[in-house]
Every structure is written in structure tokens, then in C-alpha cells.
Amino acid sequence: MFRKLAVLLLGLVAPLASLADDSLVKFKGGIGVIPVSSGVIPAGTQPLTSEVVNRNFVRGVPPPGQIWVIADLNADVKTDGSIKVRGRGLLLGGGNGIGGNANQSVFATLICEAAAPFVLHSTAPAGVPLAPNGDFRIDDVLDPPPPTPCASPVLLIRNLGGAWFAAGIVDLSD
């Protein structure tokens, strides 16, 4: 009798638990920024240098002037616009300050459109400071709230000047 009751209760609780997950989109892993995506080298130029480069804009958001790396990123965006981001090791990947955090603060931006016009759904632009080792936590609400569904999600971690330093990788495991 007890075993049948336990199975019945589990059968009722399991669907309720799945309803409790109101995630809009999750991100697992991160990609650091390389500010230049390509360049044009004129024929016969020695040494090989490029005077024309294509900056690595993502959905209208500019890159910074230097390479940044990120060790790990996890984020969960809820349908009500609340967002939790945990980042590790967001540090300069080049230049004289390599391995440092450049005393930066960061905020998160979610973009749901695959083509312009892009709507930037962002956490507070005052941001959160990077720890000396590049770790950070964002617990905030996106403004404006994102649409449901978010058809083509891109999560950018940006500095206070608006440049993107890292991007989240959509978690497709669900």
C-alpha cells in the first residue's frame, strides 16, 4: 500500500517540478572576444600587414580593442527577465595587461533577434566589478524584458563602455 502511494505521489510531483522550470534560455560555456574578425592584405605587401580590418561586431555591439578570454560561463534567463550569470576567468588575453582584469566592470545583454533591428535586453549598466582573477556574478533583471520565445538568443558580457568581452554558448542539452 505504502509503495503504491509513494509511486502515485511521485507521479503527481514530477510534472509539477517540470512546470517550475520557467527558463527562457540557458547558457553553458563562454567564448572570449577577438576584436578583429578579418583583414584585407593588399597584394605584394611585405611584411604581411593589413590596413583594412573588419571589427568583430555581434548584432550591432562593438568589440573592445584587445583580446579577452573567459574560462567558464553559466547563465539562466527566466521568462520574467530575471537572469543569473556566473563567470570565471574573464581576463585580458593580450597586450601589456595580459592576464589582468583591467579594473573592468561588466553587465549582461541578451539579444533575441537574428537580424536587425536588434533589441538589447540588459542588466543594470553600472555592472559588477571583475574580481582580480576575472570572476563575476550577475543577479539582475533584464530591461526591457525579453520576448517569449527568444528565437535566436545571444548573451553578451559587456563593459561599461558597451563593448562585448565574452559571449555565452546556448545550452541545448534540455
Q: Decide: helix, strand or coil at residue 95.
A: coil
- Least-confidence region, from 18-22, 31-35, 160-164: 18-22
158 within 8 A of 109, measured Cβ to Cβ: yes
What 8-state DSSP symbol labels residue 4? H
pTM confidence score: 0.85
For residues 120, 125, 130, 135, the Cα torsion angle rounded to the nearest 10 degrees is -40
Q: What is the pLDDT of residues 71-82, one digit of tens each?
A: 999 999 999 999
Helix (H, G, I), strand (E, B) or coil at 127: coil
Beta carbons of 72 and 16 less than 8 angstroms apart = no
- Give the model confidence (pLDDT) of 90-135 as tens digits: 999 999 999 999 999 999 999 999 999 999 999 999 999 999 999 9
pLDDT tens-digit map of 132-160: 999 999 999 999 999 999 999 999 999 99
